[in-house]
A and B are shown apart, each in its own frame.
Chain A
Amino acid sequence: MTDHLSFDHLCDLHDGTLDAGAASAARQHLALCDSCAEQLSSLVMLENAASALPAAIAPPDDLWADIRAELGPKREVRRGFGGGRSVRHLAAAAVLIAVGSSVITVAMMRRSPHAPDQVAGSVETPQAPLHVPVALPASLASEESGFTRSIDVLQRSLDERRDSLAPSTVEIVERSLRVADAAIAEARDALARDPANRALARLFASNYERKIDLLKRATELAPRT
């Protein structure tokens, strides 16, 4: 027998991609040719061995940790409360308030002719911690009272909706509010030391308004439960 089946022909026969006539002719040849039949047998054995290989191989144990790190908080935030972009902006806004407020406060205190020798909350004044409330002049205290009433209302509304927010969202909102509170406290402390500084008064009010805005936006993120 001289006209052996080519390897491609045998593969096509094995894969069932030959047309009926060609397949029939090939089978007739195989019945008479040991060499080609042996080759086909090798193909079958190879395929059996390949299909018997384990379908799964355990990946390295620490691979999930690497994958998890790449997922990052973005999706958790976005999906957790249906508004990741808003919450990222919210958190960013809080940071801007804190950073901006600190810089502006220090700058205003330095510019003010009424400024004391040392700046509240700065490195030079560790004896004036931010968390110690200082009494404000009556006009400013009244303005602050109005802000705190608005904040209380919004805070209650947010508290009522907290259960509809993902824990990660609550964490971001609370962190943002803490940042906002720190900015208010810093401006308040500076203003208490320099009550005639009108720029500081505007900053003080602005910080409260931003906290109110944060609360409003956080409340909008949370659907009613």
Chain B
Amino acid sequence: MATSASHLEPSTAVLEPADRDKSVNFRAVTGDVASFEALYREHSGRVYALCLRLTASPVEARELTQDTFVRAWEALPQFRGDANITTWLHRIAVNAMLMQRRATGRRLSRVTLGEDERDDGNAVPQGSVPPADVGSAIDLERAIAALPPGVRRAFVMHDVEGYSHDEIARMTGLAAGTLRAQLHRARQLLIQRLES
């Protein structure tokens, strides 16, 4: 059965199918699952890479990637195409991660210190590798995974993904001073670990 295009045009018709990416987005906005799957196939690698580096846990990265695309599916009608789709997906992933962290933080706040207070340079997030392995392997991915969550997020977003301080601040809501301190701390820890 053919599908009429006329009644499928989204109200947010800012998207222009000028290139393949936008064309896929355009159809995905209309609720076309096949087009959304194409969008997933094209962008899931970058989203999963971000999630894996942010969480340092394959299990959490999988959940976060899944959450990201489900949220993206729900939010697609509001996506107006004036943002880069990758940045848009990354923002959703970061928001989802922060919400998870806040929820986890509330549960743990009664028994543990805050994230920054635990940043003693030796903390190892659950699911990551021990620092000894990181130092001997000189493996940047593993060294990043061994960073405390807050500083890892700053490093991944700035030095790996290439976002500016302002962009990260907008995505995370972090104050500029906090972000700067976390980024510097991450670099210091990584250099120490990779050179040890």
A interface list, Cβ under 8 A from B: 7-8, 11-12, 15, 17, 39, 42-43, 46-47, 49-51, 53-60, 63-64, 66-68, 70-71, 75-76, 78-82, 162-167, 170, 223, 225
For B65, list chain A residues within 8 Å (CB): 59, 63
Contact residues on B (Cβ < 8 Å of other chain), bracket: 35 or more
**Nearest Cβ on chain B to A191's Cβ, whole angstroms:** 37
What is the CA–CA distance of A80 and B165 in the complex, to the nearest angstrom?
41
B interface list, Cβ under 8 A from A: 1-4, 6-8, 30-33, 36-37, 40-41, 44-49, 52, 62, 65-66, 69-70, 73, 140-141, 144, 155, 159-160, 162, 165, 180-181, 183-184, 187-188, 190-191, 194-195
B6, B30, B188 pick with most chain A CB within 10 angstroms: B188
For B31, list chain A residues within 8 Å (CB): 75-76, 78-80
A-B contact pairs, 16 of them (CB 8 A): A7-B184, A11-B180, A43-B191, A49-B140, A50-B144, A50-B160, A53-B140, A59-B48, A63-B62, A63-B66, A64-B37, A75-B33, A80-B31, A81-B7, A164-B4, A166-B3
Given contacts A58-B48, A67-B70, A68-B33, contact A167 B187 (CB under 8 A): no
For A39, list chain B residues within 8 Å (CB): 191
What is the CA–CA distance of A56 and B160 in the complex, to the nearest angstrom?
11
Contacts A67-B70, A68-B37 known; list 15 others, CB within 8 Å: A46-B190, A46-B191, A47-B159, A50-B160, A51-B162, A54-B49, A63-B66, A67-B73, A71-B36, A75-B31, A75-B73, A76-B33, A79-B32, A166-B1, A167-B1
